[in-house]
Structure 1
């Protein structure tokens, strides 16, 4: 059985469906999100030996066993998994990506895990027009989903659905802001607005 590595191209949406442990890129390629054996099944579960056009085979990679935990006295560290929603704090911005420190299960304490939000994973539409600096600022708290275990630089995250994006933002004047649209926060003291990729604002 073939073994996939994170980021490996497995097929295309023209011939297959993207299943658990995979995601698609803007070109329609199906990409491995996990390391593991590649499984090909039909909707009816008959296995890989099918030529039905109406029923595309599904490419998937099974999740690994339950999360490993590391015990240090009373503390337990849970490792993020593909599909987990996380809260993360933006620590660095570059032209094509934002680097974050993240927690799991609603914990934004940060420091334990590094995540990367690439420009193409910021939103679902007009991906080629995304300017990372207009979507996030250092210090923002974002809600994102883990789409790949990534590489040595960190986990790959996405904010490309309506309920994902910036949930807490501080203005350039140091004031806590509130969302007024999908693209803007407002400073309640100065009245000035700043652009962000806002998590569902209302």
Structure 2
């Protein structure tokens, strides 16, 4: 018989852990001063999430790691790239890759085709596609303020991104 670990009980205001790239708060938490705190009384639950991340950006394209397809996590990551001409549907010649994506950004993209060297060609040329989560230079999670800008809640500085329009089917409410 194996011994089960006792569940961790949290109360509102209790510090859970340090806010890092590998940790993010979920329902019933908030972040302040570099830490994640509990906003509800209950048992601590942890889980791992798989998303796609930007790994490299240059003036012609950005490289990505594809870690999930829809809500299905992949057993191993696949390489992908978003070319400059596949970022937006209009004004393709005015796209500046560094103003659209940064390393570490989490994006929603559509697969166009299998590209060179076993990497997939991806597109964000729809309103629903683009950056869904990004971290500011100050280390805070950026908040979208328009289709092309996000704002740091710590420093109130604005950073350019190709922001994805939030789709209601992907919004998850507490208690559901």
| TM-score interval for Structure 1 and Structure 2 normalised by the shorter chain | 0.5 to 0.7
Contact 1:89–1:110 (CA<8 Å) still a contact in 2?
Answer: no
Q: CA deviation at 1:87?
A: 4.9
The separation in 1 between residues aligned to 2:70 and 2:166, in whole angstroms, is 21
Indicate the residue corresponding to 1:61 in structure 2.
Answer: none
In the alignment, structure 1 residue 169 sits paired with structure 2 residue 134 = yes
Pick the aligned partner of 1:156 from 116, 121, 144.
Answer: 121
1:164 to 1:87, Cα distance in 2 relative to 1, 3 A:
farther
Q: CA deviation at 1:151?
A: 2.1
Indicate the residue corresponding to 1:66 in structure 2.
Answer: none
In the alignment, structure 1 residue 186 sits paired with structure 2 residue 132 = no
After alignment, is 135-144 or 98-107 more displaced?
98-107
In the alignment, structure 1 residue 88 sits paired with structure 2 residue 55 = no
After alignment, is 135-144 or 99-108 more displaced?
99-108
In the alignment, structure 1 residue 115 sits paired with structure 2 residue 80 = yes
1:114 to 1:195, Cα distance in 2 relative to 1, 3 A:
same
The separation in 2 between residues aligned to 1:154 and 1:162, in whole angstroms, is 24
Which structure 1 residue ranges, 4+ long, deviate > 6 Å from structure 2?
none
TM-score by length of 1: 0.54
TM-score by length of 2: 0.62
RMSD of aligned residue pairs (Cα, Å): 2.1
Q: Structure 2 unaligned runs (5+)?
A: 1-49, 168-176
Indicate the residue corresponding to 1:200 in structure 2.
Answer: 165
Q: CA deviation at 1:95?
A: 1.1
Q: Structure 1 unaligned runs (5+)?
A: 1-85
